[in-house]
């Protein structure tokens, strides 16, 4: 029987296993004061809309929403034309992890293109060109990319710009699923300029701006950089069940998260802790990494016998069981001590297995 | 220029203009502790599921969701069969106030039957019988009733039972939109037995159990009394974008609201304050009520010239502008002092107009 | 036991109980010659597209389709924007007789407005104006009128123009369900100018142009008068399952029907035979008409005891059983002798009941 | 300049470029006699339903429909449960050639599995098992296989049975897209027993039974072998716009096609002519086949310079332009002379290029 060290204070399951940042929770509590009109006619919502305009420019338009799947569906429903399909990577959350919500609510085909790293390249769009204008095929209408990707990789601003250029050339618009846009921003420089470089400046049309994984209790935002696509958005939001009634409780949280770039700082931290975890475990015999982490997750390949004892000590999810790959994900509240304890636990299991 | 008294501390716009009850907010904050697996695999969710079983029996099954439109869509999507239509009153929230969300997400027709008080009667279902089995007509599949109704009325338990009997006879199932089920429960006796009398005992199949208007910051529940209809519900919840990831923040709130019948007590209070408001204003010359309130709203008919000065002093919504009818709605946090001040303001406006 | 005269050679059930006109069938057979590319890349389709341009002008665009429900869905799917609703009369085929096909395939609400004669008036649109811009309501997007209506009435060109003006003022587009557009054209003068007066000239945007009831074996057309709405139409047609593969067999029939105004002449005949039937039966004691026929159907109110013996002798459908109303409908192949025999039968039944 | 021989009398574009068989057309014309109630209440429909029961057994149930996409959508809409996905090969017509009709009308995800020959194997279903019961993934609900496949291959009865067994073990049902079921039947023995071996006997639940490509002018059938799935089918057919009104014209054609196994004999002929074409061209230098034909199409790889001159002489479609592959397809009306002329033309082009 292996004697394990004391476990970390948190799991490595997902960044949505963390709670809300204290400043966020404090803002949520502070917003609980008297009456405020529902559905966004409140001062908290007005203020957070200003904050988003500061990030993305005065012509951007932001709608708050409940959750990631909902934000994606709202964004895509604003973008898609009849008989269009949505093109994404085969790993995209919208393709594999939303129980067919996009197909059901959009009534549209999703095309999952092959990718080894979760990223797409313009040539893959180019190959779809022969479908355009052929009445028997769903028409490529929206490109959806994820930043940072489901596989923990990050598009450079140039890569996003190239995809946007090709998409626009083909008459498509571009959606960026930014459930972890904070981690990508941190990875690309950690500034608002970095954020703009791979969004507004690159030509993205609509963003799902993640709040939950970045430190909120709940709440996401859809940011329309292409104004024309926002035209019907307030109606669509209600229609796809994503209109919070006491909206101040979403707005106040986001306001706290965006203040003084807290969202970026939290992501810088979770990113750096993934790097620390990678460094602390990469040399353990029997464990293998395909790549160093770019954001807040590592994907080690382990002997199968390690997995259960480690999971029961400090939980995480399997990734690709066929090759013994698991995912360890840090969150905004993970600490250096958590990393060190976790790495120590892996060493113990490695030693006794 | 009219000299108005100091305004109430709250508006009379809607019960969703109120914030969260302090006990609810305290529970939400208390749940913000360390990591918890997402999507309901947490102890708060397990506990609130127990509470719902205490209310509705051990065979009931409860799923937490984001908001009212979402809970309704989730409930109906679990109930409807291909080519079914949903039958409701012409005033039903699902018919007029959800921007066509049910039609879009269910892909089904909603039939809004005429009603003067927001309630339906079994004879109206009976009249649909000739459509059953005719291939050219959408098949009456689900009856959706609202309790308390959008017009502030309440079905008796017997009335609900009669509707359920007729619906079941026709092969339909019954959904109860309980966005204000707390107010109805309070109006019908204020006990868990009262709740059961017009739900489980009456034969209702699925309930949208309202949390937001009852005192939560956000959160609704779908309660399946008919187990068979819950079969695919967890998948459908995700598919209709109603799966909260950090679900503990919904569960903890509901747990606080259901504890010691807080939800009923808050509704008793808002109901009684509507009665107080009615009593304090019914005799004001020029103002007319069709009926005394049954729950937490009154619908006075006023001279048009009263509306703007009153609204700018203490906001409320118009109801039927054609006949000068407005809606004054109390909330869980309305106080007797608010009522008295509001009534005083109405008297002043009445006097000077 | 009543001794009935010999029955007519045809029923009075519906104009879709008739077969195809001989010239139509001949054209269909003639098109069965060798190979032709599918999906409309054939000379028959090119020619019938020319014929439709002759009717509706060079900027109109016509797509052939299978059936009435399909043509309506294709038309509406080309017109509707996200979160729009379709406004029609409560009697509209799309509202009551298509098993919810529009709601399923459009994902949109249909609003059935009250009407005693199957026709709408501009004031009814005007009353919807308050919903426009309110995020909680489906947005009035498409007006769908039926010409001639399901109740056998006909809009004048001016009435259509007024509806189109009001709809366009509200930002809506106008669909005309012309399953019986031939009968309406015949009733309004029987010329191509008459057709244009209540379609192109009146401001209609898209027409479902009926073929089946006018004398085809099968086949309908969707005519886009508003070019912009045809933009995605070829993709939508395939997507809503309305793309005939061996399209020449639809095109050849339509070509025969449109040649030398055959479609108008056939409708003039069925219209006049309904008038003859009305004249021959209106004075029979016990039978009552609300109005004289405008097109090819009459709606007599009869003693209930007459219905079964008449139906078993020569079939027709009940209309409003509550008041003893039935529908007798003529078709392109009904003859004067059929009318005279049928009227004689009614007299016999009247006499013995 | 190449001197080409006289072209064949027909193209090699597709079996839907052929017209209707004379016996079919004769039956269609013969059905054009007097009045018949619409929507299937006619003797032709009753008779063809009997014929289908003779093929598939007394518990099977058949609904006539317009076209292949429509029949597939009707079949799948009868089978799918909420949150299910449809699993098919990446080459399936429903996946790539129906403009997203299934996604739009079913509101469901289609999963296209990789395949080199258009066929799936049970192991591919087995790999989906881990998704079952996980709320974040669309649930594998329906397996759709095509027989014969889009790549001109044929499942043996055992192969279909193995797929059905695995699908049923996983709680899925099985749809067979039989747009070319006649060619498959011919390839597997050319008897009704052969048909039964890979359908009823193998465990298939619902069939799209192709008529158009087999020799009709238009018309497909959906055959429910699993009675329970037919429960709502008549409503769904109307709802998905696939209910022919003058249904006798579909029924009469099918009756002629099914009489004396005409459908099988026609397919035997088109199959054998593809074999003849293969034999006559396989040895032409520069032309290459991956495999001999199993049904009525061959897929030669040609030098790019051959394609345009051949197409302008006798049309056919490209298949995989990247590798110079084209498709030559025979139809029920192709003759031996057509094959010989076509092969001669290929030889001429080969000689001069």
C314 to chain D: closest CA residue: D35
In this model, does residue B2 exceed pLDDT 80?
Answer: no
In this model, does residue D62 exceed pLDDT 70?
Answer: yes
Chain B with chain C: Cβ pairs closer than 8 A: 52
- Interface of chain B against chain D, CB under 8 Å? 39, 77-78, 81-83, 107, 135-136, 138-139, 232, 234-239, 243
Whether residue B82 and residue D82 make contact (CB cut-off 8 A), yes or no, is no
Of B107, B135, B136, nearest to C107 by CB-CB distance is B107
In this model, does residue B317 exceed pLDDT 90?
Answer: yes
Return the residue in C135, C139, C206, C240 with the most chain A beta carbons within 10 A, the one to mutate for interface testing.
C135
Looking at the DSSP bridge assignments, the partners of residue A145 are A176
What the block records as the tokens of A279 is 């460094």
Whether residue A19 and residue B36 make contact (CB cut-off 8 A), yes or no, is yes
Contacts A103 to D, Cβ<8 Å: 103, 107-110, 138
- The whole-number average pLDDT for the span B50-68 is 98
Of A77, A83, A139, nearest to C82 by CB-CB distance is A77
ipTM computed for the complex: 0.96
Question: H/E element holding D86?
Answer: strand D84-89
Over residues D70-109, the pLDDT tens digits come to 999 999 999 999 999 999 999 999 999 999 999 999 999 9
What pLDDT does D1 receive?
Answer: 53
- Interface of chain A against chain D, CB under 8 Å? 83, 85, 96-100, 103-105, 107-110, 135-139
- Interface of chain A against chain C, CB under 8 Å? 39, 77-78, 81-83, 107, 135-136, 138-139, 232, 234-239, 243
Whether residue A331 and residue B29 make contact (CB cut-off 8 A), yes or no, is no
Contacts D138 to B, Cβ<8 Å: 235, 239
What pLDDT does D353 receive?
Answer: 77
Whether residue D135 and residue B39 make contact (CB cut-off 8 A), yes or no, is yes
What is the residue whose two structure tokens read 């258009």?
A: D118
Whether residue C25 and residue D18 make contact (CB cut-off 8 A), yes or no, is no
Contacts D107 to A, Cβ<8 Å: 100, 103-105, 107
Of A83, A235, A236, nearest to C239 by CB-CB distance is A83
Whether residue B105 and residue C108 make contact (CB cut-off 8 A), yes or no, is no
Of B77, B135, B243, nearest to D235 by CB-CB distance is B135
Whether residue A136 and residue D97 make contact (CB cut-off 8 A), yes or no, is yes
Contacts C142 to A, Cβ<8 Å: none
Helices C248-258 and C22-30 cross at an angle (nearest 10°) of 140
Question: Distance between CA C344 and CA C284 in Å, rounded?
Answer: 10
Whether residue D235 and residue B78 make contact (CB cut-off 8 A), yes or no, is no
How far does the CA of residue C183 sit from the closest CA of chain D (Å)? Answer: 19
Contacts A37 to B, Cβ<8 Å: 11, 13, 17, 315
What pLDDT does D2 receive?
Answer: 66
Question: H/E element holding D272?
Answer: helix D262-281
Over residues A45-68, the pLDDT tens digits come to 999 999 999 999 999 999 999 999
Contact in structure between C207 and C52 (CB atoms under 8 Å): no
Contacts A69 to D, Cβ<8 Å: none
Contacts B133 to D, Cβ<8 Å: none
Neighbours of chain A (3+ CB pairs under 8 A): B, C, D
Whether residue A137 and residue D99 make contact (CB cut-off 8 A), yes or no, is yes
Helices C262-281 and C336-352 cross at an angle (nearest 10°) of 20
Contacts C139 to B, Cβ<8 Å: 99
Residue A1 — pLDDT band, cuts 50, 70, 90? low
What is the residue whose two structure tokens read 């005891």?
A: C305
Residue closest to C319 by CA, chosen among C333, C307, C335, C305: C307
Contacts D218 to C, Cβ<8 Å: 218, 244-246, 249
What pLDDT does D241 receive?
Answer: 98
Question: H/E element holding D220?
Answer: strand D220-224
- The whole-number average pLDDT for the span B280-290 is 96
Name the percent of chain C lying above pLDDT 90: 97
Tally of CA atoms within 13 A in the half-sphere of A172 that contains its CB: 32
Over residues C55-105, the pLDDT tens digits come to 999 999 999 999 999 999 999 999 999 999 999 999 999 999 999 999 999
What pLDDT does C221 receive?
Answer: 98
What pLDDT does B245 receive?
Answer: 97
Contacts B78 to D, Cβ<8 Å: 82
Write the burial class of residue D3 (CB in 10 Å: 0-12 exposed, 13-18 middle, 19+ buried). Answer: exposed
A67 to chain B: closest CA residue: B244
Of A100, A105, A107, nearest to D85 by CB-CB distance is A100
- The whole-number average pLDDT for the span D288-297 is 96
Neighbours of chain D (3+ CB pairs under 8 A): A, B, C
Over residues B252-264, the pLDDT tens digits come to 999 999 999 999 9
Of C97, C103, C139, nearest to B103 by CB-CB distance is C103
What the block records as the tokens of C122 is 């501009």
Residue A352 — pLDDT band, cuts 50, 70, 90? confident
Contact in structure between C188 and C198 (CB atoms under 8 Å): yes
Over residues A226-271, the pLDDT tens digits come to 999 999 999 999 999 999 999 999 999 999 999 999 999 999 999 9
In this model, does residue C328 exceed pLDDT 70?
Answer: yes
Name the percent of chain C lying above pLDDT 70: 99
In this model, does residue C1 exceed pLDDT 60?
Answer: no
Over residues A181-210, the pLDDT tens digits come to 999 999 999 999 999 999 999 999 999 999
How far does the CA of residue D80 sit from the closest CA of chain B (Å)? Answer: 9
Residue B1 — pLDDT band, cuts 50, 70, 90? low
What the block records as the tokens of B134 is 């005719």
Q: What is the 3-state secondary structure (H, E, C) of chain C?
A: CCCCCCCCCCCCCCCCCCCCCHHHHHHHHHCCCCCCCCCCCCHHHHHHHHHHHHHHCCCCEEEEECCHHHHHHHHHHHHCCCCEEEEEECCCHHHHCCCCHHHHHHCCEEEEECCCCCCCCHHHHHCCHHHCCCCCCCEEEEEEEECCCCCCCCCCHHHHHHHHHHHHHCCCEEEEEECCHHHHHHHCCCCHHHHHHCCCCCCCCEEEEECCCCCCCCCEEEEECCHHHHCCHHHHHHHCCCCCCCCHHHHHHHHHHHHHHHHHHHHHHHHHHHHHHHHHHCCCCCCECCCCCCCCEECCECCHHHHHHHHHHCCCEEEEHHHCEEEEECCCCCCHHHHHHHHHHHHHHHHHC
Return the residue in A73, A83, A171 with the most chain C beta carbons within 10 A, the one to mutate for interface testing.
A83
D240 to chain B: closest CA residue: B83
Over residues C184-234, the pLDDT tens digits come to 999 999 999 999 999 999 999 999 999 999 999 999 999 999 999 999 999
């Amino acid at each position: 029987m292996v004697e394990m060290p004391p476990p970390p204070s948190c799991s490595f399951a997902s960044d949505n296993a963390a709670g809300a940042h204290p400043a966020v929770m404090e803002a949520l509590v502070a917003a609980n004061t008297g009456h405020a009109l529902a559905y966004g006619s409140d001062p908290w919502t007005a203020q957070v809309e200003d904050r988003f305009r500061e990030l993305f420019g005065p012509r951007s338009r932001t709608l708050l929403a409940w959750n990631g799947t909902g934000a994606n569906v709202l964004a895509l429903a604003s973008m898609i034309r009849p008989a269009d399909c949505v093109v994404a990577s085969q790993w995209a959350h919208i393709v594999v992890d939303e129980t067919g919500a996009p197909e059901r609510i959009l009534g549209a085909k999703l095309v999952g293109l092959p990718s080894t790293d979760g990223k797409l390249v313009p040539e893959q769009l180019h190959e779809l060109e022969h479908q355009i204008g052929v009445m028997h095929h769903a028409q490529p209408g929206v490109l959806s990319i994820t930043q940072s990707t489901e596989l923990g990789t990050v598009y450079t601003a140039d890569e996003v710009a190239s995809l946007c250029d090709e998409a626009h050339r083909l008459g498509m618009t571009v959606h960026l699923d930014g459930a972890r846009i904070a981690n990508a921003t941190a990875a690309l420089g950690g500034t608002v300029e970095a954020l703009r470089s791979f969004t507004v400046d690159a030509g993205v049309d609509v963003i799902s701006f993640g709040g939950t994984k970045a430190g909120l209790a709940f709440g996401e935002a859809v940011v329309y950089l292409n104004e024309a696509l926002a035209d019907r958005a307030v109606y669509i939001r209600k229609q796809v069940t994503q209109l919070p009634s006491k909206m101040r409780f979403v707005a106040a949280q986001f306001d706290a998260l965006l203040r003084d770039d807290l969202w970026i700082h939290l992501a810088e931290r979770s990113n750096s802790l993934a790097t620390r975890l990678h460094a602390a475990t990469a040399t353990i015999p029997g464990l293998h990494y395909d790549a160093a982490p770019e954001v807040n997750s590592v994907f080690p390949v382990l002997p199968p016998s390690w997995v259960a004892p480690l999971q029961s000590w400090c939980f995480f999810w399997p990734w690709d069981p066929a090759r013994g790959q698991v995912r360890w994900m840090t969150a905004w509240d993970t600490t250096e001590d958590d990393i060190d304890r976790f790495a120590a636990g892996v060493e113990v299991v490695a030693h006794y297995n």
